[in-house]
Amino acid sequence: MSSKGPNRAARETVKRFETLIQSASDEQLADFRAAIAAEIRRRQALKASEMQKTKMSRLTEASADKVKYRDPKNQFNTWSGRGRKPDWLRKFVADGGNIDDIKV
């Protein structure tokens, strides 16, 4: 095994930490332990948050059908053309409207 590169730097870092730990008081060791535990929790929470964002992003992309029809009376009422027709569209057609007239 070569003593060059990142492995050497890692071994030197470990030696410095070992020296620091050996010279630390019990109170300092308890503080180190608490700080390390807090950092681990912070990183786990960050990772969980990133995973949740990724999951939600994928779900949004997968379920977001493009709008094909828009209610002429309320622009926020839309329909992708999939699934059950919404009430506003059924009423529009029942009142004599042509579905092709509101196609986006």
Quote the tokens at residue 64. 């977001």
My answer on whether 76 and 30 are in the same domain is no
81 is a domain residue? yes
Mean pLDDT for the stretch of residues 70-95 = 94
Residue 90's domain comprises: 69-102
Q: Beta-carbon neighbour count of residue 6 at 10 Å?
A: 7
pLDDT at 57: 82
Q: Which of 79, 67, 60 is nearest to 93 (CA)?
A: 79
| Same domain, yes or no: 10 and 58 | yes
Q: Is residue 87 a contact partner of residue 77, using CB atoms and an 8 Å limit?
A: no
Note the pLDDT of residue 102.
94
Report pLDDT for 85.
Answer: 95
Model confidence pTM above 0.75? no
Residues 58 and 97 in one domain: no
Could you tell me the end-to-end alpha-carbon distance of the chain, in angstroms, rounded to an integer? 66
Write the DSSP symbol of residue 78: E
Tokens for 65, please give them.
Answer: 């059908």
Tally the domains of the chain: 2
Give the C-alpha separation, 65 to 46, whole Å: 30
Residues 76, 50 share a domain: no
Same domain, residue pair 48 and 13: yes
Residue 1 lies in a domain: no
79 & 59 share domain: no
Residue 59: per-residue pLDDT: 75
